[in-house]
Every structure is written in structure tokens, then in C-alpha cells.
Structure 1
Amino acid sequence: MLVEEIMNTNVISLPPSATIAEALKLLQKNRIRHIPIIDEHTQVIGIVSDRDVRDASPSIFHTKSEENVLQNEIQTIMSHPVVTVHPLDFVEEVAGIFYDEEFACVPVVSDYKLVGMVTEKDMLYTLIHVTGTNVQSSHIEVKVPHKPGILPEVASVFGKRKTNITSVLVYPYKNDPNYKILVFRIQTMNPMPVIEDLREAGYELMWPNNITGPKS
């Protein structure tokens, strides 16, 4: 999946000469947490978070002179340089950036110009859809040897039942490089026939691992 498929293209931005007060108003009005700062060529030169603005704002015990702080230009508190991504970057690679850098959002840039934003919420929403948890389905985890051809081999068991697989994930089995866990989400509310087929085929189920019942 590419970044352009999940990014928000309706991005609210500000020039560096805008005031902190303007940024505060936009954050509150639009219920957003970040504002990219762009120059006259729509190039990203900084980014401001709601925390940056909050830290720069006077406290409730402010004096009259402290109110002038909100009239300072936003470039005085923006973070820069800014890590950006491209619309054709893979979402899973961008997820690594979020994790490594502990970002809450990243601007999306094409030809040096701002074209979108990706947030933590966008990443979580994508994860929900990729894993198929947004639709009614049954969850099955199978422990298998880490060898070529094992995925279609296991999937063929579902095929014999003409069961629709909505998503498949593969992840390591603990610290053992000899095994993998295949996670299937299948579009049926009665997974028992497939579960029994998998057991009869000799596969070890990690989930469900304590359910038995008659085949149908």
C-alpha cells in the first residue's frame, strides 16, 4: 500500500510570518494537532504542533505584556528541518519512521511541494483495514515450518471449503527461526469445519487452540 492511498490531501498550513495566535485559532477550530509551515513555493520549511503552541501561550495568570507573545511569528517556535515522505513511499516503511522517530505525523511532499499529511490515526486506520478487523470474520492462527510454499499449502485447506480469506499476516514464532505463524481472517461466523480440516491435515493451531467440534 502506498502513502498516496491513505494521506489526507486537505491540509491546513501557514506561512512562517503567521502569528502564534493564528495557529492557535486554526488548531482549535479544525481540531487538528499539527500545522505544516510552508514558504511561497509551497515547500515545507517547518512544522508546529498543538504542544508547541500551548507551551508558547501565556498561562491563565499572564500579565498584559505576556499577551504579546501570541503575536510572535510562528517561525519562532516551529520545528525544522522537517522529515517528509513521498506519495509513492510504502506505508509499512513510513510506519518505521513513525516508530523510530516517535512522530505523530509526517508531511507528504512531491516535487518539493506539500501535497498531503499522514498521521498516527491514519496509520492505525490502515492497520485495521489491512488486518481485516473492520469486517465480521473469524480469526485463525496456524504454526507452520518456515519453508517455501507453506502459505499456499495451508491456504488450500480453506480453498477446499470455498472459504473467503479476507486477510493474511505472517509473523515470527517467538525466537525460533524454524517456524512462522500464519494469521488468517476468514469470512465465516462458523470456522469449525475449517479448523477441523486444519487439525486433520496435521497443522498446529495457536488460535483457537482449545475448540473442537463436528465437521459439517
Structure 2
Amino acid sequence: MLVRDRMSRDVVTIPSSVTILEAQKIMRESRIRRLPVVDQGELVGIVTYNDLLEASPSKATTLSRFELTYLLSKMTVAEIMTRNVITVPPDVPIEEAALIMQKHQIGGLPVVEEGSVVGIITESDIFEVFVETLGLKEGGARITLELPQKPGVLHEVTGVIKEHGINILSLATFYEEGKPEYRYVVVRVNTLTPQEIVAGLREKGITVTHVWIAPLGERGHVLPV
């Protein structure tokens, strides 16, 4: 999955001459938390909801409400925007965008192609992909396995599941610090009664660490293992 598959294409942008009050109104009406700043078709900065909050005078100020409003009506986003904007092209894998956000501790990335802003990808988009990738909306049983780092072990897992005629809804792998010789594999299968699968996995010497049953529309529960 690429950034272009999940980015928002209807991007709201503003010129750098927009005042802070105007930017606040645009964010509020559009229900967004960041605005790319574009002058003459070129991305020159980005302003976030937090930037606008920090620019607003403290409640402890002695200025009157009218004086505050006057000050904010004169300040433009050019005075507070981030100018060195971190961007991504649309053909970057979605997980690369997530890594960039994590590394720089930001919640969104403008998507730029041939110098123009063509979209924006946010942490909400990444979260939705995470939910979809793990098959959370499919229900079923979630089985967590501790597998040694050796060839063929995942084939054994899928073989056991196939023997029981059950479909795999999703599969993901994780690691734990301090255990580089193992991978933790989370398999979601299309059944609410995975006991025979769990037994079959154990017969193969595969360690099952956790089983979660998640009926559609109901609260899930742990199956003792």
C-alpha cells in the first residue's frame, strides 16, 4: 500500500498572508489540524493547530479581549509557520510515511509531486491502515505465536491452519527487544473456535502465547492457553 492510496486529496491550503484568526477559522470549519502554506503554487511552510495556540496570547495577559483580537488580526501565518516542511511523494510505501512521522514526531505530511501539493497523509490515516492490516473489523480469533528465526517455520504455521480448513484474515510480525532470535507472529483466522488449531500448532512444537476471540459487534475475550 502506498501513500497515494490513503492520502486525503482535497487538501485545504492557505497563502502565507492569511492571518492567524483566519487560519483558526479555516481549521475549525474544515475540522482539520494542519494547513500547508502555499504561495504561487509552491509549498513554503505548514501551520498546525498547536502553532496557532502557541501564537495566541496567554490568558494571564492584561490585554483586553478587543486588544487580543486586534493583535491576532494583524499577525499572519508567515510569522509562525514551519518553513522547512517535511514532505513525501505519493509513491512512498505507507509504512515509510509512518516511520518519518515517528522519527520527526509530527502528525502529518504534505504529499508533494512535481513541486505541487497533491495530498496530505496524517496519523489518523496511518491508524486506519493499521486497523485494516490487522483485520480488526473482520472479527475471528487472533493467535499470537513466538517463532524462532529460521526458514520454513511460518510455512508450518500456515500448513496447520490450512489442515483445519480455516482462512487466514491477516498476518503480521513483531519483535521484542532482548529476543533477537525470535519473531512474534499475530495470525487472525476466520473462526471463533480456534482450539483445534492451537492444539495442532502445539503438536508441531510451536509456542502459542495468546489467543483473543473477537466476535463481530461484540466485546472480545481471552481464550486461556
**Do 1:143 and 1:173's aligned partners in 2 also have CA atoms closer than 8 Å?**
no
Which residue number in structure 2 is paired with residue 13 of structure 1?
13
Which whole-Å deviations, capped at 9, do the CAs of 1:41-80 have from their partners, x for residues lacking one? Answer: 2x21101111211222345663344423323222111111
Residues 105-184 of structure 1 mapped to structure 2, 5 A cutoff: 105-184=108-187
Task: Please give the alpha-carbon distance, in whole angstroms, between the structure 2 residues aligned to 1:165 and 1:25.
Answer: 47
- 1:26 aligned counterpart, secondary structure: helix
Cα distance change, pair 16–173 in 1 and its aligned pair in 2 (3 A): closer
Which residue number in structure 2 is paired with residue 28 of structure 1?
28
**Do 2:87 and 2:109's aligned partners in 1 also have CA atoms closer than 8 Å?**
yes
- 2:175 aligned counterpart, secondary structure: strand
Which residue number in structure 2 is paired with residue 62 of structure 1?
63
Letter in 2 for 1:164: N
Choose 167-176 or 146-155, whichever is displaced more.
Answer: 167-176
Cα distance change, pair 140–107 in 1 and its aligned pair in 2 (3 A): same
**TM-score by structure 2 length?**
0.87
User: Following TM superposition, by how much is the alpha carbon of 1:210 offset from its aligned partner in structure 2, in angstroms?
Assistant: 7.2
- 2:137 aligned counterpart, secondary structure: coil
**Percent of counterpart pairs with the same letter?**
31
- 1:176 aligned counterpart, secondary structure: coil
| RMSD (Å), alpha carbons | 1.9
User: Following TM superposition, by how much is the alpha carbon of 1:123 offset from its aligned partner in structure 2, in angstroms?
Assistant: 1.1
Task: Please give the alpha-carbon distance, in whole angstroms, between the structure 1 residues aligned to 2:94 and 2:63.
Answer: 44
Letter in 1 for 2:28: Q
Task: Please give the alpha-carbon distance, in whole angstroms, between the structure 2 residues aligned to 1:196 and 1:3.
Answer: 40
The answer for unaligned runs of 5 or more in structure 2 is 212-221
User: Following TM superposition, by how much is the alpha carbon of 1:153 offset from its aligned partner in structure 2, in angstroms?
Assistant: 2.0
Task: Please give the alpha-carbon distance, in whole angstroms, between the structure 2 residues aligned to 1:174 and 1:56.
Answer: 41
- 2:103 aligned counterpart, secondary structure: helix
Letter in 1 for 2:148: P
Which residue number in structure 1 is paired with residue 4 of structure 2?
4
Choose 111-120 or 203-212, whichever is displaced more.
Answer: 203-212
Which residue number in structure 1 is paired with residue 219 of structure 2?
none
Task: Please give the alpha-carbon distance, in whole angstroms, between the structure 1 residues aligned to 2:177 and 2:50.
Answer: 38
Which whole-Å deviations, capped at 9, do the CAs of 1:149-174 have from their partners, x for residues lacking one? Answer: 22122111111112111111112254
Which residue number in structure 1 is paired with residue 82 of structure 2?
79
Number of residue equivalences = 211
**Do 2:141 and 2:190's aligned partners in 1 also have CA atoms closer than 8 Å?**
yes
Q: Which stretches of structure 1, 4 residues or more, deviate above 4 A after TM superposition?
A: 58-61
Cα distance change, pair 57–146 in 1 and its aligned pair in 2 (3 A): same
Task: Please give the alpha-carbon distance, in whole angstroms, between the structure 2 residues aligned to 1:131 and 1:199.
Answer: 23
Cα distance change, pair 145–54 in 1 and its aligned pair in 2 (3 A): closer
Task: Please give the alpha-carbon distance, in whole angstroms, between the structure 2 residues aligned to 1:125 and 1:49.
Answer: 21
Task: Please give the alpha-carbon distance, in whole angstroms, between the structure 1 residues aligned to 2:73 and 2:27.
Answer: 14
Letter in 2 for 1:10: D
Letter in 1 for 2:46: I
**TM-score by structure 1 length?**
0.90
Letter in 2 for 1:8: S
The answer for unaligned runs of 5 or more in structure 1 is none
Which residue number in structure 1 is paired with residue 48 of structure 2?
49
Task: Please give the alpha-carbon distance, in whole angstroms, between the structure 2 residues aligned to 1:15 and 1:105.
Answer: 19
**Do 1:57 and 1:70's aligned partners in 2 also have CA atoms closer than 8 Å?**
no
- 1:170 aligned counterpart, secondary structure: strand
